[in-house]
Structure 1
Amino acid sequence: MRFADQMGLLFFAVFYLGLGIGCEKVPGPHALAVVGEEEIAPEDLQRFEARINPAYRSTGQGAEVYRDYLQSLIDVKLMVMEAQALGLDRDPALVAAVVVVKKQAMIDAYLRVKLGQGIQLSEQELRESFAAHPASQAVRGAHILLATQQDAEAAYAELKAGKSFAAVARRRSLDRQTAAKGGAFDQYYAFDRVSDRIYGKVFKEMKVGQVSAPFRTPQGYEIVRVLDKKPLDYEKYRTVITRGTVMQKFEQLKAGHIAALADSLGVRVDPVCLQRLIEAWNAAPGRPALSPQEQAAPLYRFAGGQLAVGEAVEWLAAQRAALDSAQVEQILRKKAVPEAVLAAAAEKVGFAEYPQVQRQVREERERRLLEALWKKELEEEVVATEEEARAHYAAHPELYQVPAEIVIQEILAPTREEAESLLAQIRDGADMGKLAAEHSIRLHAEQNGGIYGMRAFERVIYKEVMDAALRDSSGQVQGPVRVDRPLRSALKDKRELAEAYSICKVLERLPARRRPFEEAIELSLFYARQEKQQHRLDELNEQLRRKYRRQWAIGEEALRHYDGLAAPE
């Protein structure tokens, strides 16, 4: 039974036992529920419902659905109360995490109000942004796709020596569909995520007829040539350009605002603390040995705030080399100091009291408390035994099924010529596993000698190879089998190929079967523990409803009204 259904049944059991009756807490007239001192408003339940994983959505009908969700939200609040009662809110890591969220929430709200809401854009600014943007032109290009940097440099040398782009593309490009046309794409590329990421910057700076130097792409190495350019409609990309221009202007305003704040607040570094930080850092880059007192010392001071040495270390965490004072200052003044200054400015003018900021802080605190309670109650204290694992294995055979499998040995070659050469060697007595390890472009061939187990759900990986194996009953080497556009992630070098050629033979056909317990013990222990954790969660919810029964209540009238508003027409 799914979690939401279990929670719903548990609620009704508790209700009819009388545990939901006689609560001292009474929700306000518009509140769906009250838990402790906190009321649950309709918008709180809406946010909670929106975050529920589809797999755990209630299967109830009408008001029952919202009662299920509301009870689950109440259970969450009760677990937070229990975590606080156990003192889990005093954990230093939790306190620090909540402080970080509070600072960021204040900064976001402050910048949105102080800068974001006042941004105005003129038509001229938008058109100037459009003219400088890849979206202003569509480009028809040609490319030569190569496997390695060495191949790309050799092709580029031929082009510089005077050979035509089309001739080099026909002979060298791995994209056989465009190679036959001299590398030319059939269509114009307008601005989109793919063409802009790969070609946008290259094409934008090039004139018609110009050829680029080799550059790396997810497909391999490429050389491109601009065949034609044509202007595009400004109105079509107005929304994209407006969004980008607003962000650009916002960043400019933000930089100016931070500079002015830093100047007005008098940001200054403590040279003694800086020197001590550098000494400790360079003695163990990334792991400076600093005492708690040294970490708490202010590295930067300014009116209304500071940046402690320990906070600075967190900002430097990505560095793994020795640093001097200039490098440390450059890194910290780029983002750490600005964020500290913005947080201080935001708190000074009251952004800590903004409802949105308080909600984010409350949600982060509750999330951390839930994680801590779950770790204690469900992770540390729940362990499955081998006996329980065996019981689960016996009760749920469907979870331990291994699908039917065709075991093959295969060599995947990038060209028909290479595949035919390898096939001839095998027929002359060469070891197929050794050839696979040396020549196959299929992932892991060098480790497994080209032996793979193909299952029905892996058709997207093996494609035509699976079809050939299903048809074959000879047990002999087959091929070359043409594979159209082999999956890049299944190839050693992840390159994109229009085609590849496979030679393969079926070694074994295994029927669908149940995995032996000895092979499934880890999985069965996982499932058994998961089952115990669910049972413990149900127990915990019931215990907390009993323990805090006088501190929570449901507003029945408000819930009926909510059901009426939320019901579809």
Structure 2
Amino acid sequence: MSKKDLLKGLIALQAISMIILTVIVVLYRLPSISHPGPSSETNENIDTLGSEVVAMVGSEQITMRELQEQLEMQYGEQMLHTLMLHRAIRMEAETYGFSVSPQELEDELARMMEGYVDEAEFYRTMEEQLGLTKEDVGRDAEYRLLLEKIAITPIVLTDEEVRAYIDDHPDLFGPRTQIRLAWIVTETRRLAEQAVQELSEGENFAALARRYSIDEFTAGTGGDLGRIEADDPFIDENVLEAAAELEVGDIAGPVPIDSGYAVIKLNEREVIMQYDEQRKQEMARKQLALSKAKPLHEVEQDLLRKYDANVVRQP
């Protein structure tokens, strides 16, 4: 598994709660789950829709009711727990007057997108692999940010502690270098050398990436890796070391990597001042407070107990 795939796996785990919510909304909107005392006309509609055939296997039918019952049996308990938890988080946030600003949500989503070529690829992956829309991902991030605010409420920090934290973590708060790379990934050194030869003869890099590269995530876009940190932990160290020696427009390779060999091109390099002083203070205070707070899963359980969350009927 590549480092990029690992990051996508972590993002997928963060998105599981939204999958659960999506399924439960569908599940409990199915007409075969009704409120007490439906009319006879409603019963007839429920029976009709519940017996609707949704799939065929040979001559065997699978009905809407069978699908609903399987979903409820397999996911019901976990889905219900997630719904109760989100309700408790919302109630606690309202008690303290907490909310998530557009800027906070934007920053969190940007963090989640690290390791993807661009925003479009991130949301496309969420949709294709997890069935999550852009709105679903945003809602999940908002709940997580609210939970973090709740978790750090009891934590008291001095200005001196925050300043020391900033000084001890220059990689988080100091200037950083971003680069934009493109690459051609081949299985063998011979193919990588052939690509280098063709580039030296004037061949277009993007065209060669489409022709030779085995990296399915970037081959179609001419090998573009997007803007990444110069020390991005999800990019092969050999690639980053080679890129550090390049001037913009230069090419290097073959570079040995886990999946074979790479030919890289440096398209951009920019040194960025990350945050102003106020933003540094805010971020450092939050990160330091989270390191001293209860683990988030314990905060979740505390909230469920506080609001007397209990299951009235097992799904």
TM-score interval for Structure 1 and Structure 2 normalised by the shorter chain: 0.3 to 0.5
Larger radius of gyration: 1
Q: What is the TM-score normalised by the length of structure 1?
A: 0.24
Q: What TM-score does the superposition give when structure 2 sets the normalisation length? A: 0.39
